[in-house]
Structure 1
Amino acid sequence: MRPPLGHWLAYRFVGARIRPAYRAWARDDIEGRLFPARRALVSYAFVLVMAGVDLLSPGPGIWGPGWWWLIVAIAVVGTVVSAGPERARAVERHLALDSGELVVPGAVVSSLGPRRRLAARSALAWTTAALAVLAVTTTTSILLAPRGWSVRVEPIEGGLNVDPIGVPLASGRTAVLGALALSAAVGLLLAAIGTRRVRRTAPHAQAQPHRTTMPLSVGARTALTCGVGVAGVVAGHEITGATKLWLSAVLGPPSVLLLPLTTALLAHARRARVPPGDPEPAAVDLWRMASHGRPPAVDAPVLAPRPVHGPVPPGVVVPYPARLDLPLPPPPPPG
C-alpha cells in the first residue's frame, strides 16, 4: 500500500522513517533497481536545476557548459559509488522492526552475523592497476610538462604580496624527479620488508569463522576508474601545456611508493591456497601482516540488520532497545 502524499514527501525528501503499515511498499522501493537514481535526484535536485537553467539560458551562464557537465558527471559517479551504502542505510532505517514488534519470517531485525571484508585478490588487483596507471601517467607528465607553478613575492605597503605564477620548468623538474626516484627506492624496500613479514606470519593466521569476503564493489571500481581517468586527463593537459604541472607532482611520488608493495601483496594473494569452504584472505589481513608483522586478529561477529529466513516461534518480539542481538534461525542451504 502506497503511503499518503504527506508521508511520501517526508520519506522521499527528508528521510522520515516509514510507518509499519507501508513497509511492504518501502521494501519494493528500496530493493528496486532505480532506488539509487531516485535518491540522487533528491540529493542533487538543486544542482541539477541550476545546471539546467544555466545551460538553457541564452547568455554565457554562470560557469559555462564545461563546468556544469563536470558537476553532473561527478553527481552521476557519486550515485553509483554510494548506491550500496545508501541502500544499506535505508534498509536499517525503514525496514528494521522496532522494539516490541512481532517477528515474522521475512522481517528485518538486528542480529549478530559475520563481518564483511574485501577479498585480497580483488581489492589488490584493482588498487595495483590504478597505482600502475597513475605512476605511468604522472611520471610521463613530470618528464614532458613544459610549465609549472612558482611564487612571486613583491613588497607592498604594509607587507608582502604573494602571487602564484606559471614558469618554465627547470630546476623544479629535477626536484620532482628526485622525489620520484626516492619514492621508488623506498617503495622497493617496503615491498621487500612487507613480503618477508607476510611469509613469516601467514602460516600462523587463525581461522575466521565470523567473516565473509567479497570482491570490490561496482561503486568502488567505478570510483577508482573515474579517479584515475581524471588524473590522466589532467596529466594530458599538463603535458600539452594547457595547465601547469601540479597534480602529477602531488600524485606521482605516493603512487610510485605504494606500487611495489601492492604488487608483492597481490602476488602472494594469488599464490595462497584456500581450503574449500574457507573465506578468501582479506586485503586488510595482508596489509596488517605486512605493516605490523603479526597474524591478524580473529574478527568478532557484528550487529547489523538481517532478514529472518526460517520459521520463528510464536510470540517472539524485538527486544528493547531494538539494536540488541536477536538470534535468528539459520538461512536455508543454497540450492
Structure 2
Amino acid sequence: MTTIDPRFERSVRRWLRAYPRRWRLRRSDEVVALLADLAAPGATRVDLRTAAGLVRSGWATRARTRPPLRHALAYRLLDRRVPTRYRGWVRDDLEGANAPVRVLVTVAVTYAVISVLLPLVTGERPRPPSSLTGAVLMGMATGLLSRGPWQFRKQARKHLVAEPGEELTSDSLLFGMVMRDRLTARGTVGTGVVAVAAVGLAAVAACLLAPTRLATGACGQGCVETVSRTRDGVSPALLAVLAAALVVGVLASVLSRRRLRRLVPLRPAQHARRLIRPNSRHALLVGMISAYFFGLAWVEGTGRADLFLCVGVAVAALLVLPALLVAWRAARSGPDDLALVDVLTIARTGRLRAVDTYREGLVPALVPTD
C-alpha cells in the first residue's frame, strides 16, 4: 500500500470541507486515496482544477441534500421535525463543529432584538450595552454551552429517533446502551493550566492595582453597611493571604503528585468508556469563563468597581494552579487512555475512579455499508 504524503492528505481534506459532514465521514478516506493515486509523484497539494471541482461538487451536494426553506425555517424557528430524507442534515446540524457557534449567534440575536429592534419599534433610541448587560449575555452563553451534551441528547431524541412506522435511514437513531464519554487528560489539563494561570494573574494584578476596595462601616446602632474605601497601597494582610494561598497550593500539589505516582498505574480497565478530545464547545466554554473573569479583573482593577471578588478569584487560582501543574505533568507522561476525570479524582481524593458503566443513550439504527 502506497504511503500518502501527510501534506497532500491535509490539502485534500481541506477542500473536502465543501461537502457535508455526513458525506465526509463516510467517503473522505476513499477520495483521499483515489486522489493520491491520480496525483503526480511527489505532489504535496491538490491542483487548482481538482480543488475547484471538489468545491463545486461539495456545494452541489449540500444544496441537493438540504431541506427546502419552509422545512428549514420550521426546524430553526419552531423546532419542528423535518422529513425523514433530510435527517442527515439535522444530524450534521446537531453534531457539527459549528453547533456551539450557533449558540453565540442565538445570544447575539436575542440581544439585538431586545436592545436594538424593540427601541426602534417603540420610537426610542437604542442604547449601547452596559457592563451588566455584557455580563448577563456572557452568563447566558456560558450556560447554554455548558448544557451542550444534555441539549444534544434532547434534540436528538426529538429529531433523530425514528417514530413508529417511519422509514429507518443511516442517520436514524434508536435507544440503546452506549459508552460514557470522558475527556482525555492529555491536552485538556494543559488548557486548564493556561486558563487558570491567566485568570489568576489578572486577578492578582487587580488586587495589587485596584484604587478602591469594598469595606463595611457602621450606619447606626446595630447597623452595618458596605462602603467604598480608597486604598493607600497594598494591604499587608492581603499580601499575607495571597502568600498563604500559594504556600497551601504548593503543599497540596506535593500530596497530589504522590497520589498520582502511586495510583495512576493501578487504574482499573475501563471497557465502558470512550475517550474524546476537547472540541470547539469546550474551547468556547473555557474562553467565555476566562473572559468573564478577565472582565471582572479589569472592572475592579481600574476602579470601576470596588475590589472584592478578585480577592477570592486570586486566592482560588493560587490554591489550584500548583496542583494543576502537577496533574499536567502526570497527563503528559501518563498512558494514552488516561482520562481527565481519573487525574482529578486521584489528585483531589487520593482514590481511584470507579469503573464506568454503560448508560442509556442513542445508537445508529442502521450501519452504512457503502
- TM-score scaled to structure 2, two decimals? 0.67
After TM superposition, the structure 1 = structure 2 runs for residues 254-293 of structure 1, keeping only pairs within 5 Å, are 254-274=316-336, 280-293=337-350
After TM superposition, the structure 1 = structure 2 runs for residues 105-254 of structure 1, keeping only pairs within 5 Å, are 105-155=170-220, 160=223, 162-169=224-231, 173-254=235-316
Aligned to 2:89: 28
Aligned to 1:51: 115
**1:292 deviation in Å?**
2.9
**1:27 deviation in Å?**
4.6
CA contact (8 A) 1:110 1:303 kept: yes
Count residues in correspondence. 300
> SS of the residue aligned with 1:131?
helix
Aligned to 2:156: 91
For residues 7-33 of structure 1, what are the alpha-carbon distances to aligned partners after superposition, in whole Å with 9 as ceiling and x for unaligned? 975x655646x3xx8243455245236
Give the aligned residue type for 1:176: L
Give the aligned residue type for 2:358: P
Change over 3 Å in CA distance of 1:258–1:76 after alignment to 2 = closer
Identity of aligned residues (%): 21
Query: Where is the helix percentage greater, Structure 1 or Structure 2?
Result: 2
**1:284 deviation in Å?**
0.5
CA contact (8 A) 2:103 2:145 kept: no
Give the aligned residue type for 1:110: F
**1:263 deviation in Å?**
0.6
Instruction: Tell me which moved more, 226-235 or 182-191.
Output: 226-235
What RMSD in Å do the two structures reach over aligned CA positions?
A: 3.7
Change over 3 Å in CA distance of 1:6–1:128 after alignment to 2 = closer
- The answer to whether the aligner puts 1:299 opposite 2:362 as a matched pair is no
Change over 3 Å in CA distance of 1:42–1:24 after alignment to 2 = farther
Change over 3 Å in CA distance of 1:60–1:31 after alignment to 2 = same
**1:85 deviation in Å?**
4.8
> SS of the residue aligned with 2:354?
coil
CA contact (8 A) 1:55 1:65 kept: no
After TM superposition, the structure 1 = structure 2 runs for residues 318-329 of structure 1, keeping only pairs within 5 Å, are none
**1:242 deviation in Å?**
3.0
Give the aligned residue type for 2:83: Y
Change over 3 Å in CA distance of 1:84–1:217 after alignment to 2 = farther
For residues 24-60 of structure 1, what are the alpha-carbon distances to aligned partners after superposition, in whole Å with 9 as ceiling and x for unaligned? 3455245236766777777786643221146758766
> SS of the residue aligned with 2:214?
strand
**1:167 deviation in Å?**
0.5
| RCO comparison, higher one (Cα < 8 Å, 6+) | 1
> SS of the residue aligned with 2:162?
coil
CA contact (8 A) 1:118 1:213 kept: yes
Give the aligned residue type for 1:283: L
Change over 3 Å in CA distance of 1:23–1:152 after alignment to 2 = farther
Which ranges in structure 1 are unaligned for 5 or more consecutive residues? Answer: 275-279, 312-331
**1:249 deviation in Å?**
0.9
CA contact (8 A) 2:176 2:360 kept: yes
Change over 3 Å in CA distance of 1:78–1:24 after alignment to 2 = farther
**1:88 deviation in Å?**
3.7
For residues 172-200 of structure 1, what are the alpha-carbon distances to aligned partners after superposition, in whole Å with 9 as ceiling and x for unaligned? 83333222222111111111111111111
Change over 3 Å in CA distance of 1:26–1:187 after alignment to 2 = same
> SS of the residue aligned with 1:190?
helix
**1:214 deviation in Å?**
1.4
Change over 3 Å in CA distance of 1:79–1:293 after alignment to 2 = closer
